[in-house]
Amino acid sequence: QNHEKKLLKYGAQYEGKRTDAAMQKWRSNRFGQFIHWGLYAIPGGEWKGKTYTYAAEFLKSSAHIPNSTWDSLQYQFNPVKFDPKTWAKMAKKMGVKYMTITTKHHEGFCLWPTQYTKFNIGNTPYKKDIIKALVDAYNSEGIDVNFYYSVLDWHHPDWRYDIKTKEDSIAFSRYLTFAQNQLKELAENYPSVKGFWFDGTWDQSIKKNGWWTLQVEQMLKSIRPGVVVNSRLRADDYGARHFDSNGKMMGDYESGYERRLPSPTDTQVIHRDWEACMTIPENQWGYHKKWDISYTKTPLELIEMLVQTTSLGGNFLLNFGPKPDGTIRIEEQQIAEHIGNWMKINSAAIYNAGHAKGWPRQDWGYFTQNETTGKLYAVVFNIPISGILKIQTLEGITISKASFLEKPDVPITVKEIAKKQVNLYLPQQSFSEPFVIILDTINEN
Ligand code: FHN
């Protein structure tokens, strides 16, 4: 094994977590809404009477639809019921602190009136700038907005999957200029943007142009200081992605967890910032007409994922795929409402909370800890039939008091039954939702 450190021009730019205010805000947000919206919402996973089960936003590719046919969907895009304020209010009620919107997905269609391609919202029957409407509506609800941008572009004639010829190289360098111009335009025209979320960067063509990924990151940060960029953008001199050839993370946070979470005992991830993005169905990001095409996660499963992510110091980005008429499907609205009702009571265990340092994984659920005050929260998902929650404590730490976040007056008896073992006696009642117990601790270390 070669342990020699490689000299890299385009590798990680710094080590450890960013500590500036913008990054701290990003981190304290913890819960975000992902939105995938584009032309793919129109067919919604169906083409010529056939239903395609693969991701709806991939329909062009799954159904082998020619460019010209797909691109003409542009002339049908007319979300007459789109009300950005309704979306933002729903998001606010769900309890998210940030939203990440697809400015351009793999299909290449742009939701803002870019000057660099005609394939944009300005040339649809709808015409109006959707990105601006969303930024304004979400910001006025106090929600940060980030821009998703797919570097992979099925529409642009200069996109290449690999660089094999001189012609490829010339075309692709034109493409890189195009993408950079678009990103500059986004950063300049939407000054409140808080982050850029890159995708579609896995092809050889990008891996061979790691310099560009660093240049773009630096360009965005020079226009909008503090802006947060995901690791997925980056490739180094050797084409290593996310982590450079010396194992150091590139970008500001790791964005490799997609439709999966690190295991609850994976304490490796706590040393960096990271975010998991999650679908409600198995693998649908854009709107699919058939909601039941795969298993759909329940609100309680999603809440548990949010808590598990928080307990490991990560952010949780939950995806929604709006309909072509501009509304959000009823199933997603109901899930958002359920999560929101839970957040209304329990969000203290989420916002600005993270890994409870040193505390072992517990059978009943997860610990989270406020990053500023150190307050310790036990988020309970599994209640033993005995009604006794067994807490494994740490050397020198005693639990002096336990109280329900929701009902501080309902007493919980705390008893130390052995060294580092505390029992909490829950009142005789049934719980239908996961709940939070605040633990007051005394540190004798
Ligand atoms: O192919 C895309 C997919 O449609 C979706 O946008 C996800 C979100 O993380 N990213 C890609 C797959 O990694």
Q: Note whether 66 and 309 are within 8 A (CB).
A: no
How confident is the model over 138-146, as a mean pLDDT? Answer: 99
CB count within 10 Å of CB 66 equals: 9
**Dist. CA 321 → ligand 1 center (Å):** 12
Average pLDDT over residues 308-332: 98
User: Across all residues in the chain, what is the average pLDDT?
Assistant: 97
Torsion angle in degrees (nearest 10) through CA of 196, 202, 204, 207: 50
The pLDDT of residue 444: 87
Domain assignment of residue 341, yes or no? yes
Residues 151 and 252 occupy one common structural domain: yes
Same domain assignment for residues 144 and 224: yes
| 292 and 389, same domain (yes or no) | no
Domain finish residue from 348, 364, 398: 348
Residues in the chain, overall count: 445
Q: Is 285 in the pocket of ligand 1 (CB under 6 A)?
A: yes
Q: Yes or no: say if 265 and 246 are a contact pair by the CB < 8 Å rule.
A: no
C-alpha span between 314 and 412 (Å, rounded): 30
Q: Would you tell me the crossing angle of helices 299-311 and 330-346 to the nearest 10 degrees?
A: 50
Calculate helix-pair angle for 130-140, 84-94, nearest 10 degrees: 40
Mean pLDDT of 203-210: 98
pLDDT of residue 352: 98
CATH code (residue 145): 3.20.20.80
Domain boundary among 304, 332, 348: 348
Residue 14, domain member (yes or no) = no
Q: Is the pLDDT of residue 1 over 60?
A: no
Spatial CA neighbour of 439 closest among 359, 382, 381, 330: 359
Looking at the structure, tell me whether residues 183 and 247 fall in a common domain.
yes
| 350 has pLDDT over 60 | yes
427, 335: one domain: no
CA 43 to ligand 1 center in whole angstroms: 18
- Based on the domain organization, do 423 and 274 belong to the same domain? no
394 and 329 inside one domain: no
Angle at alpha carbon of residue 350, lines to 348 and 352, rounded to 5°:
85
CA distances to 330, 331, 341, 342, 436 from 337, rounded to whole Å, are 10, 10, 6, 9, 19
pLDDT category at 20 given cuts 50, 70, 90 is very high
Distance (angstroms) between ligand 1 centre and the Cα of 199 equals 7
Q: Which atom of ligand 1 is nearest to the CA of 102?
A: 6
Residues 266 and 381 in one domain: no
Residue 57 Cβ contacting ligand 1 at under 6 Å: yes
Q: Is 73 in the pocket of ligand 1 (CB under 6 A)?
A: no
Residue 312 lies in a domain: yes
- Asked if the structure places residue 3 within a domain, the reply is no
Query: Is residue 271 located within the same domain as residue 132?
Result: yes
- 286-300 per-position pLDDT tens digit: 999 999 999 999 999
- The interaxial angle of helices 84-94 and 330-346, nearest 10 deg, is 40
Q: Which of 295, 323, 348 is the last residue of a domain?
A: 348
**What pLDDT was estimated at residue 2?**
58
Distance 221 CA to ligand 1 centre (A): 24
Furthest-apart CA pair in the chain: how many Å? Answer: 74
Q: What is the pLDDT of residue 213?
A: 98
Please indicate, yes or no, if residue 6 is contained in any of the structural domains. Answer: no
91 plus 225 within the same structural domain: yes
Q: Which atom of ligand 1 is nearest to the CA of 259?
A: 9
Q: Is 37 exposed, middle or buried (0-12, 13-18, 19+ CB in 10 A)?
A: buried
Total of domains in the chain: 2
Quote the CA–CA distance of 261 and 314 in Å, as a whole number.
10
Q: What percent of the chain has pLDDT over 70?
A: 99
Tally the C-alpha atoms within 13 A of residue 22's C-alpha that lie toward its C-beta: 15
pLDDT score of 224 more than 80 = yes
pLDDT digits (tens, 9 = 90+) for 227-245: 999 999 999 999 999 999 9
What pLDDT digit, counting tens, does each position of 152-174 carry? 999 999 999 999 999 999 999 99
Position 191 scores a pLDDT of: 98
Assembly ipTM: 0.99
For residue 216, the 8-state DSSP code is H
The residue-averaged pLDDT of 104-133 equals: 98
Residues 215 and 97 in one domain: yes
Beta carbon of 55 within 6 Å of any ligand 1 atom: yes
Give exposure, 172-200, as e/b (b: 16+ Cβ within 10 Å): beebbebbbebbebbbebbeebbbbbbbb
Lowest mean pLDDT among 33-37, 95-99, 110-114, 395-399: 395-399
Tens digit of each residue's pLDDT (9 = 90 or more) over 46-92: 999 999 999 999 999 999 999 999 999 999 999 999 999 999 999 99
CB atoms within 10 A of CB 144: 22
Tell how far the Cα of 206 is from the centroid of ligand 1, in angstroms.
16
Pocket lining: 302 vs ligand 1, CB cutoff 6 Å: no
Residues 388, 317 within the same domain: no
Residue 112 reports pLDDT greater than 80: yes
Instruction: Say if CB 399 and CB 440 are below 8 A apart.
Output: yes
Cβ of 199 less than 6 Å from ligand 1? yes
Q: Which domain holds residue 423?
A: 356-443
pLDDT (0 to 100) of residue 429: 82
Say if 340 falls within a structural domain: yes
In a domain, 12, yes or no: no
Nearest atom in ligand 1 to the alpha carbon of residue 277 is 9
In a domain, 5, yes or no: no
Res 147: pLDDT: 99
Q: Is it the case that residue 216 has pLDDT exceeding 60?
A: yes
- Cβ 277 under 6 angstroms from ligand 1: yes
CA of 224 to the centre of ligand 1 (A): 25
